Amino acid sequence: MTYRTVLTGKHFMHGDHACAEGAIAAGCRFFGGYPITPSTEIAERLARRLPEVGGVFIQMEDELGSMAAILGASCGGKRVMTATSGPGLSLMMENLGLGVMLEVPCVVVDVQRGSPSTGLPTMPGQSDVMQARWGSHGDYALVAYSPWSPQEMFDLTVLAFNIADRYRVPVLLMTDEVVGHMVERVIIPPEDQIDHWPRKRPTGRPSGSGNGSFKPFSAEEADLVPPMVHAGEGYRLHFTGLTHDERGYPDMTAETHQRLVTRLVEKINRNADQIIRIDPYYMDDAQIVVVAYGCTARSARRAVRLARERGIPAGLLRLVSLWPFPEQLFNQLAANIETFIVAEMNLGQMALEVERVTKRPVKGVFHAGGEMIAPEPILKAIINNE
């Protein structure tokens, strides 16, 4: 029996499985996770698939350990992933912060369910999107994508790995139970058509002396991303979650702290154009803009189509990426558009961002979660706003 790495071809595939296949195709070779509905199928698929491609699957004792283990494996040079849902994401927040601070590439999948607390384990939600942005303590920036279909569970997983490596940052895949458990057509391209952006690596040879002669956190290029050194390469590196200087050494001064934290945030802001993904529908002449993401965007697209049939100039701005928030785009839109409707399966989270950036009152189509928002309430909001 021989095993295939990339399952090139047309499939009728489960969203969680498509995510797992995206990971394998992207070269993920380490998964550490803890079972939780509705993400478990990702772990189950990878428990079967990773050994087939020479990768490591380990079921950890909890999500604290899962997150720590993937960071360790990434420092060993592997592409790494974990998958969870809200309760697990809460536990991962601690070491997500470590990942940001140490600039360790990793992919964290959150198949969202109704929350808070144990909430609705088997039913969808989108109420972790602010936690994704702000859940770990401190000022930081990271990246989050939000797939709306099994196809995107594959495509955005591949992108997530590339962005994580390119910018040395944790990337979250904020999906939901509907998309995770949906079965749809997934086209997996041939292996040579799958993007692979390698990690930036140091060019200088290790001196072997250590003692601060090498600066693993010196970001000399305009993108503010320092090259990544892995364990066992002879650099005698030091990584610490303490505030550190360019040698990686702890430096308990306000100046160094200011410099480091600013760079970590600027690193994402400055490269936002390369990171952000938007999917517009009927936006060219739109006067009413619906903003949605994940499964809710499927209903929003239908609502916008129905509005167009009635001659209402509505458009959909689907947020394929959630973080960093596309401030520039919304700024520009706000110059001409007065009405923004945000549809999301929470009580108004991304709506806060739209409101903040557009400085216009935003109309919300909100639901606490448990069932997908149907097209009708979104259509109603469009009609009422005309």
Partner 1 sequence: MASIQLSNQHPLDSLIRSDRLPHIWCPGCGIGIIMRCYAQAILESGISQEKHVVVSGIGCSGRVAGYMNIDSYHTTHGRAIPFAVGLKLAKPELMVTVFSGDGDLTAIGGNHLIHAARRNVDIKVVCVNNFNYGMTGGQVGPTTPKGARGTTAPYGNPELPFNLPYLMGAAGANYVSRWTTIHVRQTKDDILHSFNHPGFTFIEVLAPCPIGFGKSNNINDGLEEMELYRDRCVLVSDGDVRAEELTIDLREERPIYVGNFIDRDQPPYRPIHLENAQ
Contact window for partner 1 (CB under 8 A) among 11-19, 70-78, 123-131, 282-290: 70-78
Q: For partner 1, which is the closer residue by CB, 95 or 321?
A: 95
In whole angstroms, give the CA distance from residue 152 to residue 279.
12
Longest dimension (CA), the chain: 73
The count of residues interacting with partner 1 (CB under 8 A) is: 58
By rule CB under 8 A, what string of x and - marks binding of each residue 128-167 to partner 1? Answer: ----------------------------------------
DSSP 133-162: HH-SSSS---EEE---SHHHHHHHHHHHHH
Asked if 253 is part of the footprint of partner 1 (rule: CB under 8 A), the reply reads no
Q: Smallest distance from the beta carbon of 242 to partner 1, in angstroms?
A: 7
Asked if 241 is part of the footprint of partner 1 (rule: CB under 8 A), the reply reads yes
3-state SS class at 186: strand
Asked if 89 is part of the footprint of partner 1 (rule: CB under 8 A), the reply reads no
Residue 142's closest CA among 130, 158, 150, 154? Answer: 130
Q: Smallest distance from the beta carbon of 36 to partner 1, in angstroms?
A: 17
In whole angstroms, give the CA distance from residue 31 to residue 33.
6
Phi, psi of 373 (to 5 degrees): -70, 125
Lookup: tokens for 16: 């969680």
Asked if 230 is part of the footprint of partner 1 (rule: CB under 8 A), the reply reads yes
Query: Distances from the Cα of 278 to the Cαs of 111, 176, 252, in angstroms?
Result: 20, 18, 40
**Which of 9, 138, 198, 234 contacts partner 1 by CB under 8 A?**
234
Asked if 7 is part of the footprint of partner 1 (rule: CB under 8 A), the reply reads no
Asked if 190 is part of the footprint of partner 1 (rule: CB under 8 A), the reply reads no
Report helix angle 63-75 to 86-102, nearest 10: 30
| Beta carbons of 317 and 280 less than 8 angstroms apart | yes
Asked if 93 is part of the footprint of partner 1 (rule: CB under 8 A), the reply reads no
In whole angstroms, give the CA distance from residue 6 to residue 325.
32
The residue whose two tokens read 């930081």 is: 140
CB-hemisphere CA count at 13 Å for 258?
A: 3
Q: For partner 1, which is the closer residue by CB, 234 or 280?
A: 234
By rule CB under 8 A, what string of x and - marks binding of each residue 200-219 to partner 1? Answer: --------xxxxx-------
In whole angstroms, give the CA distance from residue 79 to residue 72.
11
Q: For partner 1, which is the closer residue by CB, 67 or 295?
A: 67
By rule CB under 8 A, what string of x and - marks binding of each residue 259-288 to partner 1? Answer: ------------------------------
Lookup: tokens for 105: 């590439």
Asked if 80 is part of the footprint of partner 1 (rule: CB under 8 A), the reply reads yes
Contact window for partner 1 (CB under 8 A) among 89-97, 111-119, 311-319, 325-333: 89-97
Asked if 314 is part of the footprint of partner 1 (rule: CB under 8 A), the reply reads no
Q: For partner 1, which is the closer residue by CB, 187 or 242?
A: 242
The residue whose two tokens read 């692979």 is: 196
**Which of 40, 74, 112, 271 contacts partner 1 by CB under 8 A?**
74
Residue 358's closest CA among 297, 317, 310, 304? Answer: 317
Q: For partner 1, which is the closer residue by CB, 60 or 374?
A: 60
Asked if 51 is part of the footprint of partner 1 (rule: CB under 8 A), the reply reads yes
| Beta carbons of 260 and 102 less than 8 angstroms apart | no
Asked if 26 is part of the footprint of partner 1 (rule: CB under 8 A), the reply reads no
| Beta carbons of 83 and 33 less than 8 angstroms apart | yes
**Which of 8, 90, 135, 239 contacts partner 1 by CB under 8 A?**
239
Q: Which residues contribute to the site for partner 1 (CB under 8 A)?
A: 1-5, 29-30, 32, 51-54, 56-58, 60-62, 64-66, 68-78, 80, 94-95, 97-98, 102, 208-212, 230-242, 249-250
